[in-house]
Amino acid sequence: MYGKNLMLIMISVWVLLFIVLPVSAMLLFSFWSIDNFQVIHSFSIQNYSKIFQDPIYLSLLWKTIKLALIVAALSVLISYPLALFVNHRRGTLKTILFLGVLAPLWVGYLVRIYSWRSILGESGFINSLLVLTGILKQPSSSLLFNSSAVVITMLCISIPFTFIPIYSAIEKIPGNLLQAAADLGAGGSRAFWTVVFPLSMPGVVTGFMFAFITSFGDYMTPSLVGGTSGIMYGNMIQTQFGNSYNWPLGAALSMIMLLFILAVIAAARKIGNVQAIFEE
């Protein structure tokens, strides 16, 4: 009992220090304003009015949502067959493949971004291959600093996070259900669509949610491989807290992002049994 109470106290302190206090401070900042680089500590909704009246912020928000949806969808489409393939292997090979998919997580976040920046650059691997095979006469600069480069790099970052819950959901499917489906005459394809896919949906929804949230809040990838056409909503927040020194507006933009992410999590919980992924 003593250990349980101590653990509850530690978790409560953790939530208070790293979630409640920072979010509360950000919410308070979002209702302040700035005048001549001085923060005015009085309640105002002018930051939210500015965001919803200026089409730049809303168009950037919509652009970021679309990009995050694309990354999340592609991440699921790639991770699902990958998880099926790894799950059907046995022994050491299964362990090696599993660790191989997660290997990018062992490399630093910035290292992965700069790696793709090198691969997609004019002197990178892809340009060298295209020139070597005669597809291009000379290296192209169009592979980097655009939205496609942002999507490719974000996929590299999000796929391990998508793979883990999908693999976990598939691995939890009891083998006797597949045997029962086979005994009833269901072929491989029918058994997949009637047994495996429905039971793996919590993993799919959780993986989609992880990939979407990771991509939606990312601002380093657009900064380093997106160029001017790859600027996202996160870059706008970074600018307000950095060069513009307009922390109240940055806080309001952050609160809108937080509300949107909470809505995505709520929708994911409604659509799929997300908590099943974290249960034994």
Task: Report the pLDDT value the prediction gives residue 280, as an integer from 0 to 100.
Answer: 59
pLDDT digits (tens, 9 = 90+) for 29-73: 999 988 888 888 889 999 999 999 999 999 999 999 999 999 999
d(CA 215, CA 157): 9
Indicate if the pLDDT at residue 76 is higher than 70: yes
Residue 228 has pLDDT above 90, yes or no: no
User: pLDDT tens across 88-131, in order?
Assistant: 998 899 999 999 999 988 888 889 899 998 899 888 889 888 88
**Identity (one letter) of the amino acid at 262?**
L
Instruction: Assess whether pLDDT exceeds 70 at residue 275.
Output: no
Predicted pLDDT at 277: 64
Question: Do 45 and 248 contact (CB within 8 A), yes or no?
Answer: no
Q: Tell me what pLDDT residue 278 has.
A: 64
pLDDT in tens, 151-192: 999 999 999 999 999 999 999 888 888 888 888 887 888 888
Per cent of the chain over pLDDT 90 is 50
State the CB neighbour count (10 A cutoff) for residue 91.
7
When pLDDT is averaged across residues 211-217 and rounded to a whole number, the result is: 92
| % residues pLDDT > 70 (the chain) | 96
Question: Which residue ranges make up each domain of the chain?
Answer: 44-270
Which amino acid, residue 67? L
Query: Kindly report the CA angle at 63 between 146 and 161, in degrees rounded to 5?
Result: 80
Is 44-270 a CATH 1.10.3720.10 domain?
yes
Q: What is the pLDDT of residue 1?
A: 65
